[in-house]
Amino acid sequence: MSRVEGKPGRLIIGIGNPSRGDDALGPLAIERLDALNLADVELLSDFQLQVEYVLDLAGRDEVIFIDASVDPALAGFSFLPVRAQRDTSYSSHALSPAALLAAYEHHHGRPPPPCHVLAIRGHAFGLGEGLSAAAAAAFEDALVFLARRLSVA
């Protein structure tokens, strides 16, 4: 897939509500990454993924989604590739990363760029709450991992 001129090659999207406890993990990660002044990286933060993000994904070398996860099997964080897959998140105001990639294929008529999800275990999501202790610890580990992967650690 060809790069779009003027568009950074790597896109990182933090997903979540900063005022909803551990749902803030994604936006907080974007804040921390922003301070690193990463080259050739665009950082975005939003409450949830929506279908128009298929336009943001176009022309990238890689896309990374960062989101809180409520998967009880997840101990701290995971970094896994994600592929296009139709799922019932289409039926909500919010799309999952896999569903967004499926929408991408239909919209652009070609496969999406390589994508990964950095999922960080969240535990509490109350309005006005800060990060839980467990999520805060996982968050730091996840950021160290991501910074190394982005070659700035």
Partner 1 sequence: MSLELETATNPEALRRVAIEPISRVEGHGKVTLLLDEDDHVRQARLHIVEFRGFEKFVQGRPFWEIPVMVQRLCGICPVSHHLAASKAMDQIVGVDHLTPTAEKLRRLMHYGQILQSHALHFFHLSSPDLLFGFDSDVARRNIVGVAAEYPDVAKQGVLLRKFGQEVIRITAGKRVHGTSAIPGGVNKNISKEERDFLLKDIYPIIGWSRDAVHLAARLFEQNLDLYNSFGRFRAHNLSLVRADGAMDLYHGGLRARDMDGKTLFDHLEYSHYWEHIHEQVKSWSYMKFPFFRELGPEEGWYRVGPLTRVTQCDFIPTPFADHERRDFLAFDGGSATGATLGYHWARMIEMLHAAEMIKELLHDDDLLGSDLVVTGERRERGVGMIEAPRGTLIHHYRVDENDLVVRANLIVSTTHNNQAMNESIRQVARQHLDGRKLTEGLLNHIEVAVRAFDPCLSCATHALGRMPLEVELLDAEGGRLDAVSRDMQGCC
Residues at the site binding partner 1, with contacts judged by CB under 8 A: 15-20, 22-23, 44-48, 50-52, 54-55, 67-71, 85-94, 96, 98-99, 102-103, 106-107, 117, 119, 122, 125, 127-128
**With the CA atoms of 2, 96, 121 and 19 taken in that order, what torsion angle do they form, in degrees rounded to the nearest 10?**
100
Question: Maximum distance among all alpha carbons in the chain?
Answer: 44
The CB-of-67 to partner 1 minimum distance in angstroms stands at: 5
The CB-of-9 to partner 1 minimum distance in angstroms stands at: 20
Q: How far is CA 131 from the centre of its chain?
A: 18
Residue 47: which residues within 8 A CB-CB, separation 6 or more? 15, 16, 17, 94
The CB-of-56 to partner 1 minimum distance in angstroms stands at: 9
The CB-of-104 to partner 1 minimum distance in angstroms stands at: 10
Q: For partner 1, which is the closer residue by CB, 6 or 128? A: 128
Q: For partner 1, which is the closer residue by CB, 61 or 105? A: 105
User: Residue 50 and residue 36: Cα distance in Å, rounded?
Assistant: 27
